Amino acid sequence: MSDSDAESLHATFEEFRFAANCVVSRSRKENGYIETSKSCLHERTYDEVRERTDDLHANLVQAARSRAADALKAVVERWKDGDKASLPTFTSDFADYDNRSATLHDDWASLATPDGRVEAEYVLPPETDGTPFDKYVESDKYSVNGATLHYRNGSFYLHLRAKTEMDDAEPAEHPSVLGVDLGIENLAVTSTARFWSGGLLNHRRDAYERLRGNLQQTGTESAHWTIKGIGQRFSQWSEDLLHTVSKELVQEAIEHECSIIAFENLTGIRERISNASKFQQGAFNQLFEYVEYKAEPFGIDMVEVNPAYTSQRCSACGHTAEGNRPNGDDEFCCGNCGYEVHADYNAAKNVAWKHVRAGQKSRSGRANRQLALKSGTVNANGEYSPADAVSARAGVHR
């Protein structure tokens, strides 16, 4: 790529950032609240952003607004949870392209910039067999429908987004929700009763911490390098593990024909598991990211729900009480109906149920949602075990 092409791409980043930051700066409404609706933000900012950016493609303006809206929504969510957070600021080099602002071929792309189109060839490994590139970009089953361009360490990276043709069909009339509960003892548990133990991760982490502590005490230079080495090996190992778990989670959603994976939001996890270490928080973060990334090509959305009471509520009868979960015990025991079940599995069902109910309450005529359970998918008309009666009722169409 020529220097002038690179310059044009940098100019795009700058304009994209400016557009996103401009939307953020115009988001405060007269009543002091923050506007997060994309269409309202469009009304408020489109003309100004078009005028103040220099030939930024209209679809890049729109993409920058979407980014700003998502970031604003996340901040408002945190405020609702009582967290302190400031309005987002965009500082990094990136731009989101779609099929109008870019033409994405199998081996090269043409990208809109303020100076006209830039054509860039992909730099690929010599052998792409078995890579995501092979699976999604070169495959006929998927079509590339967008990309995010990043700049890091002196190189441009284009992250392509692909979707299956199936996504073009109408969304399922009754989207099914897979609920996921995250924790320390069990890293993840789904509403379909699949468990991923956190045991090995915790064990290895403890061993690593101990070893690091001992080495730090010796204080020599070689100890310093050893710490670095084992630290890197440990992060690589834990990353691999989280990749595997996220892949299996998405697989679980596919097998149960779920179009939505529901997690409790990260702030919620932070509060619920107050003794979770920074490392564990980081692991949850990473798992989120991996799941989202792996679920997208299958048209599976990830949603975050407010976690209030997911561990205290009985997923069978809906009874909510602090005493429902005996302290330090894996077993959930309902004081009302006597339902006994693994506490994390109970919580996972509640996470899914929360999202099911959120759909119910909406007046937008959104499709009825249902919950994926161990015994199959449940809705009001389907079969369900009596224990799941309430969750099932939550799926009744208004």
| 257 and 176 Cβ atoms separated by less than 8 Å | yes
264/313 Cα distance (integer angstroms): 14
Give the shortest CB-382-to-Zn ion separation in angstroms.
21
Closer residue to Zn ion, CB minimum distance, 317 or 367: 317
Nearest to Zn ion of 229, 323 (CB atom): 323
CB of 271 to Zn ion, least distance (A): 24
CA distance 45 to 67: 14
The region of 79-87, 145-153, 270-278, 327-335 touching Zn ion under the rule CB under 5 A is 327-335
Which one of 317, 367, 380, 389 is in contact with Zn ion (CB under 5 A)? 317
Q: Any contact of residue 314 with Zn ion (CB under 5 A)?
A: yes
Long-range Cβ contact pairs of 169-175 (< 8 A, separation 24 or more): 171/259, 171/367, 172/257, 172/259, 172/367, 173/367, 173/368, 174/367, 174/368, 174/369, 174/370, 174/379, 174/395, 175/258, 175/259, 175/260, 175/367, 175/369, 175/370
Q: Which is nearer to Zn ion, 96 or 181 (CB)?
A: 181
Over the window 334 to 353, marking each residue x when it contacts Zn ion by CB under 5 A and - when it does not, the resulting string is x-xx-x--------------
Site size for Zn ion (CB under 5 A): 8
Query: Residue 353 Cβ, how far from Zn ion at the closest point, in Å?
Result: 13
- 172 vs 333, beta carbon nearer Zn ion: 333
Among 162, 245, 316, 387, binds Zn ion (CB under 5 A): 316
Which residues lie below 8 Å from residue 379, measured CB to CB, with a gap of 6+? 174, 368, 370, 371, 392, 395, 396
- With beta carbons less than 8 A apart as the criterion, state whether 47 and 10 touch: no
- Mark the segment that binds Zn ion (CB under 5 A) among 164-172, 285-293, 311-319, 343-351: 311-319
Question: Judged by CB, which is closer to Zn ion: 114, or 318?
Answer: 318
Nearer of residues 192 and 391 to Zn ion, judged by Cβ: 391
Does 319 participate in binding Zn ion (rule CB under 5 A)? yes
CA dist 197 and 201 (Å) reads 8
Q: Which amino acid is at 254?
A: I
Nearest Cα residue to 123 out of 155, 151, 149: 155
Which is closer to Zn ion, CB of 241 or CB of 334? 334
β-pairing, 260-264 vs 301-305, is parallel
Question: How far apart (Å, rounded) are the C-alpha atoms in residues 68 and 87?
Answer: 10
CB of 323 to Zn ion, least distance (A): 12
Distance CA(229)–CA(250), nearest Å, equals: 32
CB of 321 to Zn ion, least distance (A): 9
**Of 150-158, 278-286, 318-326, 358-366: span binding Zn ion (CB under 5 A):** 318-326
The nearer residue to Zn ion, 337 or 367, going by C-beta atoms, is 337
Nearest to Zn ion of 236, 336 (CB atom) = 336
Nearest-approach distance from CB 182 to Zn ion, in angstroms: 23
Q: Regarding beta strands 331-333 and 340-342, do their DSSP bridges make them parallel or antiparallel, or are they unpaired?
A: antiparallel
Provide, rounded to whole angstroms, the least separation between the CB of residue 390 and Zn ion: 8
**Which candidate, 257, 254, 264, places its Cα nearest to that of 188?**
264
Stretch that binds Zn ion, among 51-59, 167-175, 186-194, 332-340 (CB under 5 A): 332-340
* Residue 104 binding Zn ion, by CB under 5 A: no
Question: How many residues can be counted in the chain?
Answer: 398
| CB-CB contact of 276 with 267 (8 Å) | no
Cβ neighbourhood burial of 355 (10 Å; 0-12, 13-18, 19+): buried
Listed ranges 95-103, 107-115, 329-337, 356-364: which one lies at the site for Zn ion (CB under 5 A): 329-337
Q: How far is the CB of 335 from Zn ion (least distance, A)?
A: 8
Which of the residues 226 through 245 are near Zn ion (CB under 5 A)? none
Interacting residues with Zn ion (CB under 5 A): 314, 316-317, 319, 334, 336-337, 339
